[in-house]
Structure 1
Amino acid sequence: MARKATIDNALPIVAAHYGEKFGVKVVVSGTDASTDGSTIIVPNVPEDYPNKDVVWGYLAHEAAHVRQTDFDVWNSVLPKQELRRTVLNIFEDARIEKALMEQFPGVRSDLESTVTFLKDDGSFRKVNSSDEPGRILQAKLLFWLRANFLQQPLDDLSEAAGQAMQSVFPKGVNTRLGVLLRKACSTSSTSECLGLADQVIQMLEEEAENEEPDNGDSGDGQDKGDDQDQQNNPSPSGGGDGSGNDNQPDDQPGQKDAGSNGKADDDNQSPANGSSSTTDQPQPTGSQVIRKALNSGGDDLQPDAFESLKQKLSKDAQKDGDDSYCTVPTAPSCAGDTNSGRELLKKVQATTSKLRAQLLSIVQASRRNNTRTKRSGRKLDGKRLTRIVTGDTRVFKERSDRKQANTAVHLLADLSSSMNGYQASVAREASLAIALALEGIPGVNPAVTYFCGHGDDPVRSALRHGESARRQAHRFIESSRGYTPMAEAIWHGAFELTKTRETRRILIVITDGDPDNDVACRKVLELCENSAIETIGIGICHSRVALLFDNHIVINSVEDLGKTLFQLMRDTLVDQAA
C-alpha cells in the first residue's frame, strides 16, 4: 500500500527546511533547476518521485555553493578557458561539499546518494587510456578527490582514472599531480582553488616543455616533423635519455620495438606478432599528450555532472511535475507601529482578560484530575478503609490525569484589499485578542500571520510560535493590500507548525474572499489532512470556505469574528482536554 503524501515529506516543506537550515533562499518553481548565486530553484518533481534523496543532494550541493563560493572569483575565469574552469570546478566542488558535511553531517548520505545516481546515470563515467587526455586528467582529479577526500563511493572510477593517467601521461605529470591533489584537500577559499588550478596548468606546461625532443621544434610539440620523428622513436615521451619506458602507455597498441615486448605482452589489445589496425600510426609524444590536454575544448571534456543533474530534474518535472506546489514563503515581521500597537493592546485588554479567564476555567475544569480506588498501590484512601470489613480490598487510591492541552495554533488572517478599513481593524483586534487569551493557557502555543500583497511578498508575521503577544502587540498593526495568497499562507502556516513540539496542531484561516490559486489551496489542505493538522476555515460574509474546508464557519458580519474565535477555541480546547 502506497504511503500517503503528507506535509512533513512534501517537496516544498522539505526544501524549506533545508533552506532554513543552510541559511539560503530556496524556491520551488516549475520545471527549472538552477542557481543564480543567491537563490536555489528546485523543480516541482512529482510527490512520488523515486529519487527524492537526489533532489536533496542537488539542493545541498547548490547550497554549499551559495554559502561558500566567491562568485566574483568564479566569474573571473573566462568561458573559453575550459580546462582551467573545469579544474577550478572540481577543486571548488570538493572544498564546498567537505565544508558543508563538516557543519551538517546529515547531508553526507544525500550527497552520496546523488553521487551514486550520477555514476549509475553515466554522468560520472569510467575512463581508459583511449579517452581524450583532457578527459583522463579531469577524471583523475574528480574521482580521486571524491573517493579519497570526500570518501564517496567512487573508488573504482578513481582507480581506473589513475591507471589511464599512468598509461597516457608522462611520469613527471603523475608525480607532480599527486602533490597538487593533496594540496587540494586543504584549500579554504575559491581564490585558493583557482590558484591551485593555475598551478596544475603551469605544471602541465612545464612538463610539456620538459618532454620536448632535443632535435625538434619546441613550439607546441604538434608539428608534423615531430610526428614523423616519433615513428622511429621507441620512447613515448619523446625524450632522448631512454627513461621513457616508465611512461610507456600500457594499453597503446602498435609497439614494434623488441625492447618493449614486455609491454606488448601485457596488453591484450596488442597481439604478440605486432599485427594491429594501428601499427602504422605513430604514438603521440608526452609533450603532444600534455598539450592536447591543455588545449581541451568542450567536446574533449566530460560535462559537469551537476549541470547534467539539473537538466534531468528539469526534464522530469516538465514531464510529471506537480504544478500545484508553491514555494513556502518566508514571513518577514510586520513593520508595525509602537504607538498604534499600544492603543490596540489597551483596546483589547479588557476583552482579552475575560476571554482568558473563561478559557482557562473551562480547560482546567475539563481536565481536572479524578481519583479512583484499586486493590493495590502506595496510598490508602482513608475514606474507603471500612471496605476491608466486607472483604473489599479496593482501598488504595490512584489519581487519573487527563491530558494537557498541548496544542499549537496558527491563525492566518486575510488582510487583502477587500479587508480594508473597518474590516481590517476588526481582524487585527480579534487576532491580538485571541493570541493574548491563548498564550495564557498552559500547553497552548499560538501564532498569527497575515496574508496579503503579491507573489513576492505574500505573508507577514504578527506573532511567531513561542513569542509573547503582549510584547509584540505593535506588530499586529499592518495595512490591508493586494490579493488573496491563501495557498502560500497555508504552506507557511503548515511549515511553521511542523517545527513546533506540540502533539496537536491547528490551522485557522480567516478570509472574506476566494484564494488566488484554488488548486494549490486544495493540494496543501489535503496534505494537512494527511498529516493530522486540523484545518478550520472562517468565512466573513463569504461561503467559499465551505468548498475548501471540511470544518468551516461562515459569519455574517465582521463584528462576530471575536466571539466566533472564542467559541471555536473553547470547543477545541475542551475537546482536547476531555
Structure 2
Amino acid sequence: MRNSAILQCLPLLADALGRAYGVAVEIGGTDAYTTGKIIRLPSLPADADSTFLGLVRGYIDHEAAHVRFTAFQVLSQANTTPLERHIWNIFEDWRVEAKLAAYYPGCQQNFTWLIRHLFLEGASPLPSGVAVVVDWLLLTVRSWSVPELAPRCQEAAAVIDQDWPGLRPDVEPILERMRGHCPDSLACLDYARQVICCLKESAPSPRQNPSPDLAVSTDMQSLISAGENDLPDDFGQVLRKSLGQNATEINRLTVAIVGGKPRLPPESKDRAAIDHAIAGLRARLHGLVQSSRMVRHKPARAGKIDTRRLHGVAVGNPRIFATHQARPAINTALHVLLDTSGSMRERIGFANQCCRAVAQAMALIGVSVGITAFPGSEPGTVVPLLRHGERSNQYQDVGARGMTPMGEALWWVLQQLSSLPEQRRMVLIITDGSPDGAANVRAAIKSATALGVEVYGLGIDSPHITTLLPGRSRVIAAIDELPGAVFAMLEQTLV
C-alpha cells in the first residue's frame, strides 16, 4: 500500500524520484525550472489526472538527467549565439536522457510517453518559414526514440527540400555522427556549430522575404541572427509551460523547504516539571510496551509440561507441553511537528517542554523520534530540530515568529517518513491555532492515511486542531496534562 500511495501522490512521488536520482526536488510557486542542483516544480494540483502525473514524472526525469550529466559551464565558457544555444539544447536533451535511461531503464518509458504526448497527441502545426528548420532538427532527434514521429519529420523535410534543397544532405550526416558518438556536453556544442555552418552555406531561398518575423521569413539569415525571444520553445520550455499552467489556482499543494531559525537556551526553571512529565509518560508507555512484549504460552509437543493440558494424555493429544512465544517489539517512528508561528509566542516555552518530554520518553522505549518546527525564518520553510537517529538530548528550543504553513510542513514531514524503514509511522502536530491553508493540510492528512501514517494533534491551550483531527487530538493547558493526553492518543498504535 505504501508504494502505491507514493506513486499516486505527486509531492511524495517527486521526492521519491529525486532521492532515487540523488537530486533535490522542491515544490511551490508558479514556475518549473532547475538551478543545476535543485529541480523546482510549481505548486501541484490536489487531484492530478494521469496526464499531469506523466508530465511530472517526465519533467523530473528530464531535469535530473541535466543535473547529473550536463556540464553547464560549457555554455558559460563559450561565446555562443542564441541559435547555437538553442540547437545545443536540442542535442543535449537527447544525450542526457539517453544516459539516464541507461542507468534507470524505467526512465525510457517516461521519456517515450512524454515525447508522444508533446509531439503527437498535443502537436501543433509545423511553423511556416525558416522556423521549420529548427522544428525538423527537434523532430528528427526525438524520432530516434519514438519512430512514430517519422511522418512529421518527412513533412518538415519536404518544406526544407523545397526552399533549401541542399541543406538536408549536408546536415543529416552530422546528425548520424552525433547519434553514433556524442560523449559529453562539449561534443553537443561542436555538432550544433557544425549544423549552423551548413545553415550559413545553404543556398539562398528562391523566395526571399525581408520580414523580421522568424515564423514567416524564408531568409536563412533571419534564423542565424535570431535572438532568444525570436526562437521557438525548445523541449524543456514546452514541458515547463505545461506544468506551470494555472499553477496559481486555489487548492494547490506546496511543500516546505528547509530553512533556519535561531535556537534558544532551555528554560531551566521548568526543568522539574519536564522531568516529572517525562517520568509520568515513560512509566505509562513502559508498562504498555512491556505488556505488548510479554511472552505467551503456546501448546507444543516438547518443552515444559503445561499442567493445564494434562487431560490431553487421556485422549492421545501429545501437545501437553508449553513454549514461550514472544510478540513483536515496537517498530515505530514518530515525528513531532511543532508550530512556532507568531501566535505561539506566549506558549512556545510550554510547547518546547512538550517536545522535549515526548522525545525523551519515546526514545527511552525504542521509538525513533524526529522533531521539526514550522515556519523557519523565511516563509514556507521548516527547521529540523531533531532528525531520526539523533539522540533526543540534541533537541534545542526555538522561538515563535511568522505564519502557520502547517500543510507545507506536513507534506515535508511525510516525505521524510516515506523513506524510513519503521513499519509504524506517526505524526504529532503541536499547535495553538488554525493553519494558513486548511485544504493543503487536509490533502496531506488524506495522503498520510493512504500511506498508513497516523496523524495526531496536540492543542496547546487551544481547540482548533480538533477540527482537523477529530478523535485524534487532545487539548492541554499545562505540562502535567501531557502524559495522559499523549498516552490516550498513542496507546492503540504502540500496542
TM-score bracket for this pair, using the shorter chain length: 0.7 to 0.9
Contact 1:8 1:531 in 2 (8 A): no
Q: How does 1:328-347 map to 2 (within 5 A)?
A: 328-332=255-259, 336=263, 340=265
Flag the structure with larger Rg: 1
Aligned to 1:575: 492
Distance change >3 Å, CA 316–CA 331, structure 1 → 2: closer
Residue type of the alignment partner of 2:195 = V
Does the alignment pair 1:325 with 2:252?
A: yes
Aligned to 2:338: 413
* Alignment partners' CA distance in 2, 1:26 and 1:462: 20
Distance change >3 Å, CA 178–CA 504, structure 1 → 2: same
Contact 1:408 1:446 in 2 (8 A): yes
Does the alignment pair 1:142 with 2:141?
A: no
Unaligned 5+ segments in structure 2 are 209-217
Aligned to 2:386: 463
Aligned to 1:59: 60
Contact 1:69 1:190 in 2 (8 A): yes
* Alignment partners' CA distance in 1, 2:475 and 2:231: 67
Q: CA RMSD in A?
A: 4.2
Provide, for residues 422-448 of structure 1, a one-character-per-residue CA deviation record: whole Å limited to 9, x for no partner: x32332232122212212324x22211
Aligned to 1:156: 150
Contact 2:374 2:409 in 1 (8 A): yes
Contact 2:200 2:221 in 1 (8 A): yes
Aligned to 2:287: 361
Q: How does 1:91-240 map to 2 (within 5 A)?
A: 91-123=91-123, 135-136=132-133, 138-139=135-136, 141-148=137-144, 151-154=145-148, 156-157=150-151, 160=154, 164=158, 174=169, 177-183=172-178, 186-187=181-182, 189-206=184-201, 208=202, 221=204
Contact 2:83 2:224 in 1 (8 A): yes
Aligned to 1:533: 453
Residue type of the alignment partner of 1:478 = V
Secondary structure class of the residue paired with 1:418: helix
Contact 2:335 2:371 in 1 (8 A): yes
Q: CA deviation at 1:76?
A: 8.7
Contact 1:417 1:483 in 2 (8 A): yes
Unaligned 5+ segments in structure 1 are 212-220, 227-287
Out of 436, 445, 451, the position equivalent to 2:368 is 445
Distance change >3 Å, CA 25–CA 380, structure 1 → 2: closer
Q: How does 1:370-409 map to 2 (within 5 A)?
A: 370-373=296-299, 379-384=302-307, 386-393=310-317, 394-397=319-322, 399-409=324-334
Provide, for residues 287-309 of structure 1, a one-character-per-residue CA deviation record: whole Å limited to 9, x for no partner: x9977875789999764344334
Residue type of the alignment partner of 1:364 = Q
- Percent identity (aligned): 26
Secondary structure class of the residue paired with 2:403: coil
Contact 1:367 1:577 in 2 (8 A): no
Contact 1:12 1:328 in 2 (8 A): yes
Contact 2:257 2:412 in 1 (8 A): yes
Secondary structure class of the residue paired with 1:110: helix
Distance change >3 Å, CA 371–CA 117, structure 1 → 2: same
Contact 2:371 2:384 in 1 (8 A): yes
* Alignment partners' CA distance in 2, 1:515 and 1:196: 54
Residue type of the alignment partner of 1:446 = V
* Alignment partners' CA distance in 1, 2:130 and 2:443: 52
Aligned to 1:304: 234
Q: CA deviation at 1:575?
A: 2.5
Contact 1:451 1:458 in 2 (8 A): yes
Aligned to 1:491: 411
Q: CA deviation at 1:174?
A: 2.4
Q: CA deviation at 1:462?
A: 1.0
Q: CA deviation at 1:365?
A: 1.7
Distance change >3 Å, CA 434–CA 43, structure 1 → 2: closer
Distance change >3 Å, CA 398–CA 161, structure 1 → 2: farther
Residue type of the alignment partner of 1:193 = C
